[in-house]
Amino acid sequence: MRYLTTAFGMELRRCLLHRRLWIFLLLLTGAAALFRLLPWQGEGGIVTVGVAAPQGEGTAFLAGLERHGGELVRFRPADEDEILQCVSTSRWDCGLILREDFDQRLARGEYEGLITLVTGPGSTVYPLVRETVAAVVLELATPGIAREYVEQRLQVSGEQLEQAIPRLEEILPEDQRVAVVPETADGQAMEPLALAEAGMEQAVQGLLAVGLLIWSLSVGADLGRWKESGQAKRLLGVRSLWQVLLPRLTAWMVPALLASSAALLLATGSWMGAVMLLPYLLALGGLSLLLSRGQVWRVLPVLLPFAAAAGLLLSPVLVDLTQMAPGLSRLSGFMPVTLYLDGCAGQILAVWKLVGMAALLGGLGGVSLPASDKPGPRQSRACR
């Protein structure tokens, strides 16, 4: 134990002087700070969208936006210059600029170029805003579309058409409307704001998990490279492979654990995600130890982009492909990134799977010394 403690202290001092570690920490801190400053995090989670409407135009459109905005988006009247300034500085997520003859074009059914969507470098939820705008425009245009259908297809005109117009513009009561209500898997209603925040939080946790996966592979390459150094070979003569590599592995992983936990708390405030980093990094440490054996570590730098793609595609980070291809479910279930996200969601079984994966991979990586890792025979002068 004294050897492991002393070796860990020496390796930790060496790692803290390594440029790669500080680049990783700076990128992690910068990404967390940038995400913290995104518009969706401010003003209690309300996203602000500016709307520039000409004088006397778009009154019904603005009222429709207010009805459909809900808890996620707040539409704020503004002029064009204010929208460009606030969106470019990421104070607002995006902006809408209406045409000068908005009402006339909408009444004539001319929808092309009716509204200009302004986005900036910090825009994240503009697809939701775009869908909301499309819904409001369709709502306002529905009476005209219905009237055109009645005139051209049903051949209704004159007095019959005048009698039908009030019905076309009639607003249905609440019990006759179609409502879309998001629910959890157990049938409980989920608020739209909570749904959006949960999705963003999962995306941040997943991206961090993929980044740590890449970090662990680079650590595995470092362990394999150092294992063949003269110092490591001398230690292998008196110590096991597990004892030789564990201090260096821990020295690389401990700063990553502390920095990742702090960055995740800064970005999302998720204590569960920060706590789950411990079993996740234990599993990744076992993977690094296993991949450092033999000559596998030599191809790890080539596999880094493929590992990142696999983490993003096979785990529900940004999109869940298992919903479209159920055959990938089993493969996704064994991905460390997927297990980490499941653990963040409160699934205790995923935690035990990560711990078991850490024990299995760590045991396979250090329980025995392969022939290629053993030091060569040494002869004393007395035997010559």
Q: What's the Cα-to-Cα distance from 54 to each of 7, 58, 223, rounded to whole Å?
A: 71, 8, 65
Beta strands 115-119 and 94-98, pairing class:
antiparallel
| Both tokens assigned to 200 | 């963003």
Domain 44-174 has CATH 3.30.450.20: no
CB burial string 259-296: b at 16+ within 10 A, e below: bbbebbeebbebeebbebbebbbbbbbbbbbbbbbeee
pLDDT tens figures, 231-284: 878 887 777 777 788 888 899 999 999 999 998 888 888 889 899 999 999 999
| Both tokens assigned to 118 | 């302004």
pLDDT tens figures, 340-373: 999 988 889 989 999 998 888 877 766 544 444 4
What is the signed CA dihedral for 306, 309, 313, 317, rounded to 10 degrees?
140
Note whether 194 and 304 are within 8 A (CB).
no
Closest Cα partner for 273 from 200, 187, 334? 200
- Which residue in the block uniquely carries the two structure tokens 């650590």? 219
- Which residue in the block uniquely carries the two structure tokens 């401010």? 42
Rounded to two decimals, the pTM is 0.62
- Which residue in the block uniquely carries the two structure tokens 């004294």? 2
Outline where DSSP puts E strands in 186-314. Answer: none
The C-alpha atoms of residue 236 and residue 234 are separated, in whole angstroms, by 5
pLDDT tens figures, 92-130: 888 999 988 888 888 888 888 889 998 887 677 777 788
Runs of H (alpha helix) within 228-270: 230-236, 241-267
Note whether 224 and 296 are within 8 A (CB).
yes
pLDDT tens figures, 316-329: 887 777 777 777 88
- Does residue 164 surpass a pLDDT of 70? no
Q: How far apart are the first and last CA of the chain?
A: 37
User: What size, in residues, is the chain?
Assistant: 384
Chain centroid offset of residue 188 CA: 24
Q: Where are the domains of the chain?
A: 2-36+193-373, 44-174
